[in-house]
Amino acid sequence: MTKVSGSYRRNGKNIYIKQPEFKDLFFVSKLWSDEKTMEDIGGAFNFPENRWEMFYKKMVYPTDGKNFYCLVYTIDDEPIGEVSFHGFDYITKIARFNIKIDYRYRRRGYGEEALKLLFEYFFLEFGGEMIIDSIPTEEGVRVAKRLGFVEIGQYRDGTKMRVAKEEFLNHKRKSSMKVGILTYDGMNMNDYACAHDTLNLVNILHKEEIFKLSPVAFNDKVVLNNGLILNIDSINPDEFEPDIIILPGGNILDNLRDDSDLVKFVLKNLTKCEYICAMEDAIKVLIGCKALDGIIVPRFCNDIDRYINSDKIIDSNFCDDGKILLSSNEIGNFEMIISLVQKVAGLNLSDKLKRRLGIKEYGE
């Protein structure tokens, strides 16, 4: 995803990370001065306002090109910490990292999720190849190992650990995930087939049902956008809580009522699911659910400016905003599903899928 004007934001399930505005450094000052939060990392630190400008220019904007800094927020927009990488070396493409979570919000998985979002940006967008740092606490070491880090030595300042790009991207998150592919009148069957058949192919390639696929229908029959009628053997939407929601594209406008079963299902599961994928015009459902605030959106229709601020629109087949994945055309649909496979099952399997589909990287 290309960095455009405005603060970078990447969404997770329980938190999101976002570059701060200058005024948000008041929270940073408060965080660093808290003794309980800082006791394991050298103690409280005074950060007076006369030092904010120098810090902001170096770490946030315009930066020296070697650092990237975000605050960590709950999904209710409460700032709870910070996450960053720094000291990036353009030759080795290695950086160090930093994570601080307010002590009142610890042991909820927020720090691990914030690091995952940061490393996705570092490895997939920034061009980094390795993260190396010393981790001072046992809990920090356990979290790092869950993200693919390996120990490389013991030192006075902690356990030195590193994770390379392939190690991070191949670190499997879960053994299987429930996928709900939503159906509705006006749906594009090609989009549905792209998601269903591609993820089913992944299960076949892996010889394991990583993606447990279920169509989700709100009627016994679905009238497709070409006028054909599709009979659906659907799971009960009221009893189903998917890990992944996929919204195929189609003639979506008639399904955007706030009281429609489609919108109510998305709203009910919006914060519970791990990932949400929307294809083309189905992005309008997420706009209607106010799920895209602050994130980058691909230009999926000519009048997108009616729905999204221009500084958050890019001309791209596909956008990965962390939890939310959006595609603007058929090519983007495949790119999105491949990215989803990489997030859930690792880089090796997503590469295997691309070879099976005959997709080549640039320069091959």
Q: Same domain for 187 and 332?
A: yes
The answer to the question of residue 73 being in a domain is yes
Is residue 346 helix, strand or coil? coil
The answer to the question of residue 122 being in a domain is yes
The answer to the question of residue 2 being in a domain is no
pLDDT score recorded for residue 293: 87
Q: Same domain for 146 and 182?
A: no
Mean per-residue pLDDT for 205-223? 93
Instruction: Give the domain extent around 231.
Output: 177-356
Residue 256 has pLDDT above 80, yes or no: no
The answer to the question of residue 364 being in a domain is no
Q: Same domain for 103 and 239?
A: no
What's the distance, CA 208 to chain centroid? 24
Q: Same domain for 133 and 242?
A: no
Predicted confidence (pLDDT) per residue in 283-309, tens digit = 999 998 999 988 999 999 878 888 888
Report the number of distinct structural domains present in the chain.
2
Least trusted range by pLDDT, from 124-133, 224-233, 242-251 = 224-233
The CATH number covering residue 139 comes to 3.40.630.30
Mean per-residue pLDDT for 176-198? 96
pLDDT score recorded for residue 294: 87
The answer to the question of residue 363 being in a domain is no
The answer to the question of residue 361 being in a domain is no
The answer to the question of residue 223 being in a domain is yes
pLDDT score recorded for residue 310: 86
Mean per-residue pLDDT for 254-276? 88
The answer to the question of residue 182 being in a domain is yes
Q: Same domain for 337 and 199?
A: yes
Mean per-residue pLDDT for 347-362? 87
Q: Same domain for 118 and 188?
A: no
Least trusted range by pLDDT, from 42-56, 163-177, 238-252 = 163-177
Residue 220: pLDDT band with limits 50, 70, 90: confident
The CATH number covering residue 350 comes to 3.40.50.880
Q: Can you tell me which residue has the tokens 């904010």?
A: 52
Where is the domain boundary, 170, 189, 212? Answer: 170
Residue 169 has pLDDT above 50, yes or no: yes
| Model confidence, pTM | 0.90
Residue 339 has pLDDT above 90, yes or no: yes
Separation between Cα atoms, residue 60 and residue 261, nearest integer Å? 42
Q: Same domain for 18 and 148?
A: yes
Q: Same domain for 47 and 104?
A: yes
Q: Same domain for 291 and 323?
A: yes
Mean per-residue pLDDT for 18-25? 96
Of 288, 222, 237, the C-alpha closest to 258 is 288
Residue 356 has phi, psi (to 5 degrees) of: -65, -35
Residue 154 has pLDDT above 60, yes or no: yes
Q: Same domain for 128 and 195?
A: no
Distances (CA, A) of 162 to 127, 156, 188, 293: 16, 17, 45, 34
Where is the domain boundary, 129, 150, 170? Answer: 170
Residue 155 has pLDDT above 90, yes or no: no
Q: Same domain for 24 and 92?
A: yes
Q: What is the DSSP letter of 235?
A: B
Q: Same domain for 197 and 334?
A: yes
Alpha helices in 248-322 (DSSP H): 261-269, 283-288
Where is the domain boundary, 140, 170, 200? Answer: 170
